[in-house]
């Protein structure tokens, strides 16, 4: 769309408490670093607590660590029961194009990590959340297909990048229905989406295919942004006064790089019936329901 917020800086966040999932590396770590520097209390919600503690020790400000594996519903429930009141939840953790596997809960790994875990976490935390939920998606959502009766790819031929795109579409369908439910309930909490464009992170490192990992890594390095700049869309969505159901992305060519601005999403990400259907299936699969 263009017209991004060039030169924009994150405003002070004193007195506000943020949870950032997947905050021990990449975009999550950079998001947490900036928020802490701007005065926020930041919880690093990480799968590896030892790695999280090492990261926290290197950051300035009020930073704490709490174990969370979003691919495990037991871990999600334990985290939600312990974390206490927060202002902002940033659903950042994710995996990309990994080989087919099922989690302990019986869900395809990308669906579980990128969507179902954050679906459950968000709904469990809503009663103690005061400001907003930030849902991290990808421009790849436009190539995704959500099949409600085969979300875990048990009947279809598994395609790693297809499953990734489907999970990123699921993120935006979740955003759409969450926003509708929050408005209908009269809640002051808002749901906002963001995507980082093409950013040089290690997310392509788990594909199980050395060539695809190499191509993905160098593609992001050549065409994309630094992690520092790539995190700006998330930070904008998390800190600026934008309406619920806003989607923030880079303002440059094909939304691959640039400064944060409001961007469009694919028509299928605005399908209210599909969003409602996915929500109902997600409730069935996780056993977690909208609490408001």
User: For the segment 172-205, what is each residue's pLDDT rounded down to a tens digit?
Assistant: 999 999 999 999 999 999 999 999 998 865 544 4
Range of the domain at 175: 17-283
Would 30 be classed as within a structural domain? Answer: yes
Give the CATH number for residue 273.
3.40.50.720
From residue 206, alpha-carbon distances to 86, 109, 160, 209 in Å are: 31, 12, 11, 8
User: For the segment 259-269, what is each residue's pLDDT rounded down to a tens digit?
Assistant: 999 999 999 99
For residue 84, the SS3 value is coil
Other CB atoms within 10 Å distance of the CB of residue 154? 11
Residue 93: phi, psi to the nearest 5? -55, 145
Would 12 be classed as within a structural domain? Answer: no
User: For the segment 110-161, what is each residue's pLDDT rounded down to a tens digit?
Assistant: 999 999 999 999 999 999 999 999 999 999 999 999 999 999 999 999 999 9
Would 3 be classed as within a structural domain? Answer: no
Would 288 be classed as within a structural domain? Answer: no
Q: 100, 158, 164, 236: which is the annotated catalytic residue?
A: 164
Total tally of structural domains belonging to the chain: 1
Would 95 be classed as within a structural domain? Answer: yes
Using pLDDT thresholds of 50, 70 and 90, give the confidence band for residue 211: very low
From residue 233, alpha-carbon distances to 90, 218, 255 in Å are: 12, 22, 11
Q: Are strands 17-21 and 86-91 parallel, antiparallel or unpaired?
A: parallel
Would 8 be classed as within a structural domain? Answer: no
164 noted as active-site residue:
yes
d(Cα 18, Cα 32) in Å, to the nearest integer?
8
Would 9 be classed as within a structural domain? Answer: no
Question: Per mean pLDDT, which range of 96-105, 163-172, 212-221 is the poorest?
Answer: 212-221
The dihedral built from the CA positions of residue 148, 152, 157 and 163, taken in this order, carries a sign that is positive
Query: Which DSSP helix (H) or strand (E) runs through 214?
Result: helix 210-223
């Amino acid at each position: 769309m263009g017209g991004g917020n060039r030169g924009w800086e994150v405003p002070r966040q004193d007195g506000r408490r943020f949870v950032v999932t997947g905050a021990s590396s990449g975009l999550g770590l950079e998001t947490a670093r900036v928020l802490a520097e701007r005065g926020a209390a930041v919880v690093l919600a990480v799968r590896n607590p030892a790695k999280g503690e090492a990261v926290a020790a290197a950051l300035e400000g009020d930073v704490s660590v709490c174990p969370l594996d979003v691919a495990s519903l037991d871990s999600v429930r334990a985290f939600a029961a312990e974390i206490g009141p927060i202002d902002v939840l940033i659903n950042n953790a994710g995996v990309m194009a990994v080989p087919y596997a099922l989690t302990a809960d019986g869900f395809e790994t990308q669906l579980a990590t990128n969507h179902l875990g954050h679906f459950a976490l968000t709904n469990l935390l809503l009663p103690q959340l005061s400001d907003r939920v930030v849902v991290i998606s990808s421009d790849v959502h436009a190539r995704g297909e959500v099949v409600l009766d085969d979300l875990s790819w048990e009947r279809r031929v598994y395609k790693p990048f297809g499953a990734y795109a489907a999970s990123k579409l699921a993120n935006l369908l979740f955003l759409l229905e969450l926003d509708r439910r929050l408005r209908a309930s009269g809640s002051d909490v808002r749901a906002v989406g963001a995507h980082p464009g093409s950013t040089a992170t290690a997310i392509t490192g788990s594909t199980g295919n050395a060539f695809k990992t190499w191509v993905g890594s160098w593609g992001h390095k050549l065409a994309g942004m630094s992690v520092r700049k790539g995190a700006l869309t998330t930070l904008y969505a998390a800190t600026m006064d934008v309406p619920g159901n806003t989607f923030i992305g880079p303002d440059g060519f094909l939304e691959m790089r640039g400064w944060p601005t409001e961007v469009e999403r694919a028509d299928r990400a605005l399908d209210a019936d599909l969003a409602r259907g996915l929500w109902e299936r997600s409730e069935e699969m996780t056993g977690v329901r909208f609490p408001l």
